[in-house]
Structure 1
Amino acid sequence: MVSPALIFDCDGVLADTERDGHRPAFNAMFDELGVPAHWDEQEYGEKLRIGGGKERMASLFEDPQFARRFAVPPSKDAQAELLSTWHQAKGVHFRRLVSDGAVRPRPGITRIITAAVQAGWTVAVASTSARPSVYAVLEAAVGHDLADAIPIFAGDVVSAKKPDPQIYLLAVSELGLERDQVLVIEDSRNGLRAAVGAGLRCLITTSSYTREEDFSEACLVISSLGDPGGPPLDVLADRAGVPIGDFVSLEDLRACISGVNTASTGPTKGDSA
């Protein structure tokens, strides 16, 4: 019998990193390096429509106001080198925030990952963020030993970022998984589209920036995985017919895997042809 598999996104799923980590880290890097940019919460929410930190920063080069205040390198190679420098400096700030405890695991993450590994399930992480940053968040959630045992697919391991399905196709291939035994846990429309594009079922735990996004293809949409004794979660959509209580159990996730295959649905509102 094939064991079930859980593939977690990192940002917004393992922790609310976009709000508590990445945006402050970008702004700290901008200040440190004298880059004339600052992303408030609303503007950063718009930037999240772009998959990948380097790609978000590259959007600055297309802003005429930014170009009037900053000498944008004329060549693509020079721009790529500058973005790499910015990204490395931003990663230092982000990992410092994680180590200082500013980025906390979301409800249920530590409990579910630990239980799944102990039950013999395959657990992996697939993210567009840089691997050192993903590992820092995972380690904060489950500890060093367990984080070392969990495969991470992150950063530039594929040529196209989410919503392209490449990273999930790579994870399925590298881990030798059966697609009908995999459940992806995401928090965003881009992540959902990537999972569905790879033919995988997807559960959504909405984060601070994504609650109003379109999650039509998700088997289950909830406010978090929840924890015993913690605040009860909100069930926003249940297309798999899984009766969820105040928190999600491993058996609830197994039921999502064996439930309705929403990954086979066609394009919905918000998808391009």
Structure 2
Amino acid sequence: MSARRLRAVIFDMDGLVLDSEPTYVHAWRQAAAELGFPLPDSFWTDLSGCSGTMVSRRLLDRCGLGFDLERFQTLSGAYWLAHVQRYGIAVKPGFFNLLEVLFQRDLPFCLATNSALTAAQKCLANAGLADRFPCIVAGDTVSAAKPAPDIFLRAAAEMERPIQDCLVLEDSPIGIRAALAAGAPCIFVPSLKPADAWAAEHADYLMDDLQQVADFISAG
């Protein structure tokens, strides 16, 4: 997609707008260890972009059906809240410049995240972005979360734009799969290095950060 044809932008949240994934990993790792399941870093990083349901499924697959998922969720939620209340959540470089470009070009934008709506709202509030997105489509407001296309299709409908004219910004392979399934052009801004090879190959563009995205749209 050329930037000239762009009619709207759809943002992912975790790892794309917010540097929130390390806060989740911190909480998950502590909760799992407390339950007697110290898991390697590779397990947690592989959860990038996953919905809560997918995280639960992978934990049960790894730890067995005896894993106390309810206790894990309670513990990890408490650890996460304590961490972000103390340290906050960092906003990714280039985000505010990108918003300025979108306002200058009068382009609508929306947040489309696998997180539950209340969780997304808490994350945005802890990052100082509570009122930045006029539209939020969350994983618990659609029939199927990413990598299904539902979240992006709903976001396009909310903005009253054809999905093929909406540029999706994603940091994970799961999000890129969802964008492709929806028929949306997409930019892969990987939150993990090295960048996932499949997502880098299949996205329309590979960019380093949101500042590069801002420059791309501004030049269009």
Question: TM class, shorter-chain normalised?
Answer: 0.7 to 0.9
**Shift in CA distance, 153/102, structure 1 to aligned 2, threshold 3 Å:** same
Post-superposition Cα deviations, 1:165-208, rounded to whole Å, max 9, x if no partner, equal 11111212233212232100001111111001111010111112
Per-residue displacement from partner, 1:13-64 (whole Å, max 9, x unpaired)?
A: 012322x211012123345xx5222343212123448x3123222323234x
| Count of aligned positions | 215
- Corresponding letter in the other structure for 1:137: C
Query: Is the radius of gyration larger for structure 1 or structure 2?
Result: 1
Say what the alpha-carbon RMSD is for the aligned residues: 3.0
Structure 2 CA distance, aligned partners of 1:165 and 1:44?
24
The residue that corresponds to 2:46 in the other structure is 46
TM-score (norm 2): 0.80
Within 5 Å, give how 1:67-146 maps onto structure 2.
67=64, 71-72=66-67, 82-83=69-70, 86-87=72-73, 89-101=75-87, 103-117=89-103, 119-140=105-126, 143-146=129-132
8 Å CA contact 2:137, 2:155 repeated in 1? yes
| 1:239-272 per-position Cα deviation (integer Å, ceiling 9, x unaligned) | xxxxxxxx4436x22667xxxxxxxxxxxxxxxx
Q: Which residue of 1 aligns with 2:30?
A: 28
What is the aligned partner in structure 2 of residue 217 from structure 1?
202
CA 1:189/1:72 → structure 2, altered by over 3 Å: closer, same or farther?
Answer: closer
Match of 2:13? 10
Pair 71,27 (structure 1): closer, same or farther in 2 beyond 3 Å: same
Asked if the contact 1:201/1:218 (under 8 Å) is kept, the reply is yes
- Letter of the 2:54 counterpart: E
- Residues 4 and 254 in structure 1, CA contact (< 8 A), matched pair in contact too: no
Distance in 2 between residues matched to 1:8 and 1:91, nearest whole Å: 24
Give the match for residue 193 of structure 1: 177
Which residue identity does 2:110 align to in structure 1?
A
Structure 2: runs of 5+ lacking an equivalent: none
Higher RCO (CA 8 Å, separation ≥ 6 residues): 2
User: Contact 1:7/1:184 (CA < 8 Å) preserved in 2?
Assistant: yes
Distance 2:102 2:95 in 1: 11
What amino acid maps onto 1:205 in structure 2? V
- Assess if the C-alpha contact under 8 Å between 1:128 and 1:162 holds in 2: yes
Provide, for residues 132-164 of structure 1, a one-character-per-residue CA deviation record: whole Å limited to 9, x for no partner.
3322333455633324xx211113222322211
Q: What's 1:55 paired with?
A: 54
Deviation at 1:89, TM superposition (A): 4.9
CA distance in 2, matches of 1:196, 1:218: 8
Opposite residue 56 of structure 1, the aligned amino acid is V
Amino acid paired to 2:195: R
Higher helix share: 2
Q: CA deviation at 1:224?
A: 0.9
